[in-house]
């Protein structure tokens, strides 16, 4: 039988923990993010959280059914950080670009948490707010509902996929990450042009480009394609209307 989760307004302990801490959902999430940053995914457990918060691990279940629900709350918190301060300007392409870059940045700022949560669907408040904002921008821009859903799907999956990819690199030990980056100059830049003419031609640019995230470029390609297609559809519709008149 599932544990009963106490409603938010009734979760706060009547007295502080041994260390003088008053528990809250946000404090648990913030502490979990710190443990992930310091110890990686293996460092996140009810026992470790209890030690960090100076409370019995069972106290955590007043706030979350279990560690998986906490994982979802962490993912939702990252989206909340991304949305903080964002507001629509009326420029649909610029607004979507800003949302995408904000979500990506929020995840890669917490690489270990990103690896745990980027593939999850939380259904929580911040995720719903982000989805409402993205779909709202597209609908306000005149996209039909079917196109809106397709673009939203590509947009959010691309954003989270790059967040997971880039977080994976950032979560590597510094020496491993540096070794991977050095291969573009130690190996690719030294390949014989006779055997690898196209790589040799591109090598200097590859060494510069491949150590950075491709997400901004990929995001621009997605948005350019979506908005150019919308313009083309509008022009075709206008042309067809003119022909009928």
pLDDT tens profile 187-216: 999 999 999 999 999 999 999 999 999 999
Q: What's the CATH fold of domain 87-171+213-244? A: Tetracycline Repressor; domain 2 (1.10.357)
| Residue range 215-233, pLDDT digits in tens | 999 999 999 999 988 765 6
- Write out the two tokens for 2: 């599932």
Q: Rounded to whole angstroms, how far apart are CA atoms 78 and 113? A: 9
Helix 174-186 × helix 197-209 angle, to 10° = 140
- The pTM for the full model equals 0.85
Cβ-contact 167, 108 below 8 angstroms: yes
Fold of 8-65: Arc Repressor Mutant, subunit A (1.10.10)
Helix (H) or strand (E) holding 33: helix 25-39
| pLDDT at position 239 over 60 | no
Distance CA 73, CA 163 (A): 17
For 43-57, b/e burial (b = at least 16 CB within 10 A) is bbebebbbebbebee
Nearest of 30, 26, 40 to residue 115 by alpha carbon: 40
Tell me whether residue 199 is exposed, middle or buried, using C-beta atoms within 10 angstroms of its C-beta: 0 to 12, 13 to 18, 19 or more.
middle
pLDDT of 238 higher than 50: no
Distance between alpha carbon 218 and the CA centroid of its chain, in Å?
Answer: 15
* Residue 241 CA: distances (Å) to CA of 233, 236, 237, 244: 12, 9, 6, 5
What are the pLDDT digits (tens) for 54-108?
999 999 999 999 999 999 999 999 999 999 999 999 999 999 999 999 999 999 9
Looking at residue 132, what is its pLDDT? 98
Instruction: Say whether pLDDT at 118 is over 60.
Output: yes
The pLDDT assigned to 96 comes to 98
- How many Å apart are CA 133 and CA 127, to the nearest integer? 10
Q: Where are the domains of the chain?
A: 8-65, 87-171+213-244
Q: How many Cβ atoms sit within 10 Å of the Cβ of residue 117?
A: 25
Rounded to 5 degrees, what are φ and ψ at 138?
-65, -45
């Amino acid at each position: 039988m599932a544990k009963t989760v106490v409603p938010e307004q009734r979760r706060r302990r009547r007295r502080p923990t041994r260390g003088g801490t008053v528990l809250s959902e946000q404090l648990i999430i913030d502490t979990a993010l710190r443990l992930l940053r310091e110890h990686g995914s293996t460092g996140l457990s009810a026992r470790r959280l209890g030690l960090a918060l100076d409370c019995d691990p069972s106290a955590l279940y007043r706030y979350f059914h279990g560690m998986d629900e906490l994982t979802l709350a962490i993912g939702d918190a990252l989206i909340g950080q991304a949305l903080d301060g964002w507001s629509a300007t009326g420029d649909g392409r610029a607004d979507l670009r800003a949302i995408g870059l904000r979500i990506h940045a929020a995840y890669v700022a917490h690489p270990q948490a990103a690896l745990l949560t980027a593939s999850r669907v939380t259904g929580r408040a911040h995720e719903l707010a982000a989805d409402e904002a993205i779909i709202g921008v597209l609908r306000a821009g005149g996209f039909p509902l079917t196109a809106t859903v397709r673009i939203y799907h590509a947009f959010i999956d691309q954003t989270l996929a790059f967040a997971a990819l880039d977080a994976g690199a950032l979560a590597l030990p510094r020496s491993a990450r540096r070794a991977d980056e050095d291969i573009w100059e130690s190996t690719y830049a030294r390949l014989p042009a006779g055997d690898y003419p196209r790589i040799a031609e591109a090598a200097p640019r590859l060494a510069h480009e491949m150590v950075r995230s491709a997400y901004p470029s990929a995001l621009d390609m997605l948005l350019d394609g979506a908005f150019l297609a919308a313009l083309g559809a509008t022009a075709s519709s206008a042309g067809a209307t003119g022909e009928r008149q």
